[in-house]
Amino acid sequence: MKKTLFDKIWDAHVVRQIDEGPSVLYIDRMYIHEVTSPQAFDGLTARGLNVFRPAQITATADHNVPTKNQHLPVRDDLSRSQLEKLALNCRNHGITHFGLGDDYNGIVHVIGPELGYTRPGMTIVCGDSHTSTHGALGSMAFGIGTSEVEMVLASQCILQTKPKSMRITIEGETAEGVTAKDIILYIISKLGTDGGTGYFVEFAGSAIRGLSIEGRMTLCNMSIEMGARGGMIAPDQKTFDYLKGRKFGLAEVDLSQATEKWKELVTDEGAVFDKEYLFKAEDIPLMITYGTNPGMGMPVNSSIPKTESVDPSAAESFAKALKYMGFKEGEKLIGKKVDYVFLGSCTNGRIEDLRIFTSYVRGKKKSPDVEVWIVPGSKLVEQQAYDEGLVQILNDAGFELRQPGCSACLAMNDDKIPEGKYCLSTSNRNFEGRQGPGSRTLLAGPLLAAAAAVTGVVSQPF
């Protein structure tokens, strides 16, 4: 029987199929962080249970860490207590923990792949929606709730109902400057924020194969913003090359033997998906959002749609979004003042994003009218930015590099966008108040972020 990539990984991990019910799935790796794990550990303790396979759990502190002066005690009481609790729980249960200040600390979806913990063919979960990021390496990765985190801590298994399958194929070559962020914002603008609901998505086609592994992570990261359970991309030579020399997770793996097995992780010719979409890469422009969900996106040089062109069932939310954002239908965003620029998050906080940003601002100067937060996704990304001379270029242009963390992606730390202010952000969500109460978010890629950082307005980079 012909199988999809998803089928192959799913079938290899079913421990037990409950009659007319969900499957018990084995989980190869779970990532945890300070926000969604404390209750799970409390539940475990209350039931007198231990962590079943601590070597298959990896912890990091990311959501509410400060991005300045990380050597000082964390000022916020709740954040400090959550960070301490994570450290204690990991110590008590023998779990590897990359805490604040650790050389390998960073955002959970950045450190997992970069340290070699995420590999093709694995099942991966985390109490965090953007766990889908790890699908970029050919794994089946998805976010879970706190009670499910507890379940995996206790049993290394989870109950899951198999989702439907979708393939999104993008063929051809993208135009100059178009990045993975533009590709995914384009897809979501076409399919809507519920277009993937009930499905697990495989991305395929020449444009996807042309992306770097980091670009693939950006794409899979935001697959959940169209409602999908997760996104994945078949591993290829780029994946195998990316994994060579990764620091931790590969210690027990014979890479050449594993690579031969990983090569089988492709969708069989003739396998049938429940839904298929095909897009042309050359149709994809530089994208930006104008509204309060990631599906409200448009080409940066275009105009906000007029109400008459919006689906009548969405007219009310469209009007509400424009009111919140302070925009009018038919208006252009080019030239609109931006108060903040945020480069970072598990969507665009990797070294390639910093390289794109830096290559644009090199030799230019930061606009005095805009506050710019450049936040690396991990300590390794931060170190690499110094090693490659990117930090010097940024400093020469008037920017500074902060320290790693989720930062203004969800503003659980001090990095909050003030009420009513506009932030051009490379993160993944533009919901009302996501970057701070009353904040207004324009989602875009690192190139548009760089252009706004030097002009102070939404700009075409070229």
Q: Write out the residues near ligand SF4 by the rule CB under 6 A.
A: 62-63, 107-109, 128, 130, 345-346, 406, 409-410, 427-428
CA dist., res. 437 & res. 435, Å (int): 7
State the nearest-atom distance from the C-beta of 426 to ligand SF4, in Å. Answer: 10
Q: Which DSSP state fits 423?
A: E
State the nearest-atom distance from the C-beta of 38 to ligand SF4, in Å. Answer: 16
Question: Which phi and psi angles does 416 have, rounded to 5°?
Answer: -110, 135
CA dist., res. 456 & res. 254, Å (int): 50
**Is 172 buried (19+), middle (13-18) or exposed (0-12) by CB count in 10 A?**
middle
Identify which of residues 267 and 428 has a Cβ nearer to ligand SF4 in the complex.
Answer: 428
State the nearest-atom distance from the C-beta of 385 to ligand SF4, in Å. Answer: 17
Phi-psi region of 433 (alpha: psi -120 to 50; beta: other; left: phi over 0): left
State the nearest-atom distance from the C-beta of 43 to ligand SF4, in Å. Answer: 22
State the nearest-atom distance from the C-beta of 444 to ligand SF4, in Å. Answer: 16
Identify which of residues 165 and 413 has a Cβ nearer to ligand SF4 in the complex.
Answer: 413
Q: Are strands 57-60 and 140-143 parallel, antiparallel or unpaired?
A: unpaired
Strands (E), 121-173: 123-126, 140-143, 157-160, 164-171
Tell me the three state secondary structure of residue 202: strand
Strands (E), 215-302: 230-232, 275-280, 287-289, 297-299
Nearest Cα neighbor of 63 from 91, 33, 39, 37 is 33
Identify which of residues 109 and 350 has a Cβ nearer to ligand SF4 in the complex.
Answer: 109
CB atoms inside a 10 Å sphere around CB 270 = 6
State the nearest-atom distance from the C-beta of 418 to ligand SF4, in Å. Answer: 19
Contact status, residue 397 vs residue 403, Cβ threshold 8 Å: no
Nearest Cα neighbor of 344 from 302, 325, 372 is 372
**Is 10 buried (19+), middle (13-18) or exposed (0-12) by CB count in 10 A?**
buried
CA dist., res. 350 & res. 111, Å (int): 10
State the nearest-atom distance from the C-beta of 24 to ligand SF4, in Å. Answer: 27
State the nearest-atom distance from the C-beta of 8 to ligand SF4, in Å. Answer: 27
Identify which of residues 45 and 431 has a Cβ nearer to ligand SF4 in the complex.
Answer: 431
Identify which of residues 127 and 138 has a Cβ nearer to ligand SF4 in the complex.
Answer: 127
Nearest Cα neighbor of 434 from 456, 402, 412 is 412
Identify which of residues 296 and 410 has a Cβ nearer to ligand SF4 in the complex.
Answer: 410
Identify which of residues 35 and 304 has a Cβ nearer to ligand SF4 in the complex.
Answer: 35
Identify which of residues 149 and 281 has a Cβ nearer to ligand SF4 in the complex.
Answer: 149
Identify which of residues 36 and 239 has a Cβ nearer to ligand SF4 in the complex.
Answer: 36
- Return the amino acid letter for 13: H
Identify which of residues 219 and 409 has a Cβ nearer to ligand SF4 in the complex.
Answer: 409
